[in-house]
Amino acid sequence: MFGKRIKIKELLLSDNVNYQATVMGWVRTFRNNQFIALNDGSTNNNIQVVVSLGSLDDITLKRITTGACIKATGEIIASLGKGQKVELNASSIEILGDSDAEKFPLQPKKHSLEFLREIAHLRFRTNTFGAIFRVRHSLAFAIHDFFNKKGFVYLHTPIITASDAEGAGEMFKVTTLPLDGTAPRNEDGSINFKDDFFGRNTNLTVSGQLEGELAAMAFSDIYTFGPTFRAENSNTTRHLAEFWMIEPEMAFHDLEDNMNLAEEFIKYIIRYAMENNREDLEFLSQRLEEEEKQKPQNERSELGLIQKLDFVVNNDFERITYTEAIDILKECSHNKKKKFNYLIDKWGIDLQSEHERYLVEKHFKKPVILTNYPKEIKAFYMRQNDDGKTVAAMDILAPGIGEIVGGSQREERFDKLTERMKEMHIPTEELDWYLDTRRFGACPHAGFGLGFERIVQFVTGMGNIRDVIPFPRYPKSASF
């Protein structure tokens, strides 16, 4: 029964007429008891199903409501209506699933993104979210395609871990111990994890990088692509508590190799989406254009969505050092007129999103790769430069978002790494397995992390990261 179904996208792309076809999907609208706009999620475009007057009984007609799921069989004919080449002249219609029109939340009208977040289980059926998640799929496929073509090994790193790769401490605990205060404790009052499931303190991972480095010391080139978790109380348009990360690790790579690969990678996946999701991106571009009209003139983007993506894939990223960036920011009129929330007054401070966006949107007007950050604001595993002040780190900054990639050349020298870990109070005994990669056949290596939702946000032009993941997790929200 269902094997005969033809996807609506396939029908609409073809000029063929005068043949029998079966379509299945969800009713968007039903006009005059005659014209059904049907959508199956393969495209934003609906096929018009024409019901001959008198061909259906009244009971069936009443069941063809917005949101109902139907099967329609009939002849594909040339359409006389505007904006469509073909339509289906139905010879039979079967109701697969009823929908109470009065209770169905997605009426044929414009809904706010805030409202749609409240019904995230149904928002896939809208044009906006249909386009977003088809683009998300293409980007995910392109990621695997890119690394596979380069001979990388796809590695699944643990989701439950006993290490904090970032040293930030903002992690979700994983435990089977009781939460009512009766968990066993040590003499100093801390929780005794010996009776816990894993027999030690464990968390949800913030990164698969450390495990990725272990594999790179055997396979040369690996990548991970999986969920990561941050327990920071950030209610922003850029942060999620659960998100997906792509983390390649490459043996025999230095900082420059790392930058080159990251830039090539970003351009590849964006280009793939542009070639395979043009229709969706044009819809999202038009949506963004209408949204931009509501903003003051000085806050509007200079480029439309398609133009922005074209610009990124066809131009070299600007590459500057952290020190050069600080000089630019310190001397810019924005800083001198105190328009930044965080003023730039000295070398060594951590750049905020507003600084990153100023560099890419106002100063260079293109993506920027910042390198050689102060070691005090970066992780312990980054390779120390000869100046004693900076590390071989790199961040890629994108218009509209800020940091989209973070990476570095890793510290391969055992003595330098352990010295840095002691400085940062990271227990070497707990990471002894990690240090083995420096004891046995160490080599220069590098890697980076790309937050998948950030790149989806960038490519779709969506203003809030909660709208590019199916079911967003953030403070006080774990619905669905």
CA distances from 54 to 38, 51, 61, 87 (A): 20, 8, 10, 19
* Per-residue pLDDT band at 169 (split at 50, 70, 90): low
Domains present along the chain, CATH in parentheses? 2-109 (2.40.50.140), 127-171+206-467 (3.30.930.10)
Residue 67: which residues within 8 A CB-CB, separation 6 or more? 26, 27, 99, 101, 104, 106, 125
In 411-480, the DSSP E strands lie at 445-451
CA distances from 376 to 110, 342, 345, 346, 459 (A): 49, 19, 17, 14, 33
User: Is a pLDDT exceeding 90 seen at residue 298?
Assistant: no
Q: What is the pLDDT of residue 3?
A: 72
Residue 212: which residues within 8 A CB-CB, separation 6 or more? 155, 157, 222, 223, 224, 247, 248, 249, 447
Calculate mean pLDDT across residues 62-91: 93
Q: 209: which 2 tokens? A: 């990088």
pTM above 0.75, yes or no: yes
User: Is a pLDDT exceeding 80 seen at residue 79?
Assistant: yes
Euclidean distance between CA atoms 165 and 255, whole angstroms: 20
Q: What is the pLDDT of residue 8?
A: 97
Q: Find the radius of gyration of the CA atoms of the chain.
A: 27
Euclidean distance between CA atoms 454 and 473, whole angstroms: 15
Q: What is the pLDDT of residue 58?
A: 92
Helix (H, G, I), strand (E, B) or coil at 7: coil
Calculate mean pLDDT across residues 260-272: 98
Calculate mean pLDDT across residues 139-146: 98
User: Is a pLDDT exceeding 90 seen at residue 399?
Assistant: no
Q: What is the pLDDT of residue 325?
A: 97
Query: What 3 state SS string does 316-375 have?
Result: CCEEEEHHHHHHHHHHCHHHHCCCCCCCCCCCCCCCCHHHHHHHHHHHCCCCEEEEEEEH
Strand order in 173-174's β-sheet? 160-161, 202-204, 173-174
Contact 88, 19 (CB under 8 A): no
Q: What is the mean pLDDT of the chain?
A: 94
Euclidean distance between CA atoms 410 and 420, whole angstroms: 12
* Per-residue pLDDT band at 166 (split at 50, 70, 90): low
Contact 258, 408 (CB under 8 A): yes
* Per-residue pLDDT band at 81 (split at 50, 70, 90): confident
Calculate mean pLDDT across residues 414-433: 93
Pick from 74-83, 205-214, 216-225, 283-292: least confident = 74-83
Q: What is the pLDDT of residue 192?
A: 94
* Per-residue pLDDT band at 294 (split at 50, 70, 90): confident
User: Is a pLDDT exceeding 60 seen at residue 282?
Assistant: yes
Select from 254, 246, 349 the least CA-distant residue to 340: 349
Residue 248: which residues within 8 A CB-CB, separation 6 or more? 147, 152, 212, 221, 222, 223, 224, 261, 265, 447, 448
Q: What is the pLDDT of residue 167?
A: 56
Calculate mean pLDDT across residues 18-44: 96
* Per-residue pLDDT band at 168 (split at 50, 70, 90): low
DSSP readout, 58-78? Answer: HHHHHH--TT-EEEEEEEEEE
* Per-residue pLDDT band at 164 (split at 50, 70, 90): low
Euclidean distance between CA atoms 333 and 362, whole angstroms: 11
